Structure 1
């Protein structure tokens, strides 16, 4: 049975860096069994992203309750706030690139540039890994990571700028290969929806409604509702409820908080309403969901 914690740890990017500079904005290194930063699993990251390129080895990577297989030539992507846990074989090897939004956006005029990448901001609450199939794709990505490692481990002139450029190339390379069922044309309404989804990530635990989100996005509630409906066939409330249900499931699965404590933490008026809300969305009560998880783990 999986061990639960009283709370889910949240780590900053400097937890995973051996650098001693004043402000850690990115880190790139070899990923293997000897990479040990004494962190507890499962955990979340704060405002930084992760690209993990596994070249050898096997295992499982669980991201927001979805378990994905680790196998050679797989690329995993993590966004801030996602709860994750990784288990891997002794021969695991590859590369890991951690970077903050501040680093990525430092030379970008568009503050929403990261929304272009479907593996970070999909319209659904999942981001499956990229399983590379062709030798040319694998070699190109491996080459980009090798060059990045050289840059971060030397004191060459403009090393930070070169690392930034290589990150762009890695992200573009992965974007071209990543399944994009909605097409590659990013429309204005689509960007609004992705901004809305990012805001849900930031404000989920405040338990606010559509109007508050619309105000924060500087649009009317009607405009937000119409745009979301046009591009997704769903309502903003559907997205808010999906994200809240995910957060409740995270806490029921990974922590020892009581149902009442979870309700309080997520700003519900009382436990009764909280339980009815969760059951309406999922079909089971919080207690039933937790019991099912416990029985499954046994």
Structure 2
């Protein structure tokens, strides 16, 4: 065996060994370091994951593209389903969860904003990709030609990552940017048809919601931040999303609480305070209204499903 072949075999074995401990791999995905990047085939990863995955959020973006089958995931307060030639994007900071092992094939990308910073890109490049915003529509359906290009790019990116990890960062970055640009072209074409004033107000409201949810719980709070009336905000958000701002606010509070119930050891009263509700009984009633169970019961159900 040649030295070159030995090195390649060693790298491949090292890469496969990363997937031996599925629990550690899952933790790495959910709690990636700020400069973390990885790409993996969906079908390789899903077989090793411990399900269900309770509500969680990270400081990295997750990007799923399917070539076969379907995938179902809850992002924020909505459930999304994608099939062949469709993408699902979980923006950094967004709450996500999923319950079932879906039969599918495709690619999963996970990356931090810092992966887009370097010799080949400006520091604020991420701002050019609207679909990476917290309020953006997470599902993108691709046309046939874009799907062909995207699959080729992801295959090349996967090959580079499997062979060399992050050693050739400029190669990784260049293909990552190309992937995002391909998706952005489709997303912008769809978004341009929806960019009415009401849609702009709704998007800005949802962006503010993620920033201020722990301190601002009234519709008028967000109307003031947007310099419009509460009535105008109500009409715009309801017209675009089908839900009132009040419901968006309530759901955001509950989502934040679910993450804390899973990712922290804070008491129920401490979690209520953390999400800005000083009345624990009101917090419990609000949580049960949307989840059908109390915060304590929800935490126990997670503990019962987590691996020992």
Please confirm whether the aligned pair reaches a TM-score higher than 0.5, indicating the same fold: yes
2:59 maps to which residue? 47
Q: Deviations 1:272-294 (Å, cap 9, x if unpaired)?
A: 7768xx9xxxxxx5444343999
2:254 counterpart of 1:248: yes
> For the Cα contact (< 8 Å) 1:28–1:97, is it kept in 2?
yes
Identify the residue that residue 77 of structure 1 maps to in structure 2: 89
1:143 is displaced (CA, Å) by: 0.3
Distance 1:14 1:103, change over 3 A: farther
1:32 and 2:34 matched = no
Residue matched to 1:263:
272
Instruction: Say whether 1:58 aligns with 2:70.
Output: yes
- Aligned counterpart in structure 2 of residue 175 of structure 1, from 158, 178, 184: 184
Distance 1:82 1:251 in 2: 11
TM-score under structure 1 normalisation?
0.63
The alpha-carbon deviation at position 122 of structure 1 amounts to 6.2
Contact persistence 2:257–2:272 (CA under 8 A): no
What is the CA-CA distance between 1:29 and the residue it aligns to? 1.5
Q: CA contact under 8 A between 1:60 and 1:88: conserved in structure 2?
A: no
What CA distance in whole angstroms lies between the structure 2 residues aligned with 1:239 and 1:12?
38
Task: State the superposition RMSD in angstroms.
Answer: 4.8
Distance of 1:57 and 1:184 partners within structure 2: 29
For residues 131-177 of structure 1, what are the alpha-carbon distances to aligned partners after superposition, in whole Å with 9 as ceiling and x for unaligned? 3342x222111001011112212349972111111111111111111
Counterpart of 1:116?
128
Kindly indicate whether the alpha-carbon contact (under 8 Å) linking 1:205 and 1:266 is maintained by their aligned counterparts in 2: yes
Aligned counterparts, 1:86-165, within 5 A? 87-90=100-103, 92-107=104-119, 108-111=121-124, 113-121=125-133, 123=135, 127-134=137-144, 136-155=145-164, 159-165=168-174
Question: Does residue 225 in structure 1 map to residue 227 in structure 2?
Answer: yes
Q: Please identify which structure carries the higher helix content.
A: 2
Distance 2:25 2:248 in 1: 26
Alpha-carbon offset, residue 14 of structure 1: 7.2
Paired positions, count: 255
User: Superposed, which structure 2 residues align to 1:170-209 within 5 Å?
Assistant: 170-178=179-187, 180-182=190-192, 200-207=209-216
**Secondary structure in structure 1 of the residue aligned to 2:94:** coil
Query: Equivalents in 1 of 2:164, 2:89: separation in Å?
Result: 28
Output the TM-score relative to the length of structure 2.
0.61
What is the alpha-carbon distance in structure 2 between the residues aligned to residue 88 and residue 33 of structure 1? Answer: 12
Kindly indicate whether the alpha-carbon contact (under 8 Å) linking 1:15 and 1:37 is maintained by their aligned counterparts in 2: no
* Correspondence for 2:14: none
Change (3 A) 1:38 1:163: same
- Name the SS for the 1:57 alignment partner: strand
8 Å CA contact retained: 1:13, 1:45: no
Matches of 2:69 and 2:29 in 1, distance apart?
21
Query: 2 CA distance for matches of 1:66 and 1:46?
Result: 18
1:223 positional shift: 7.7
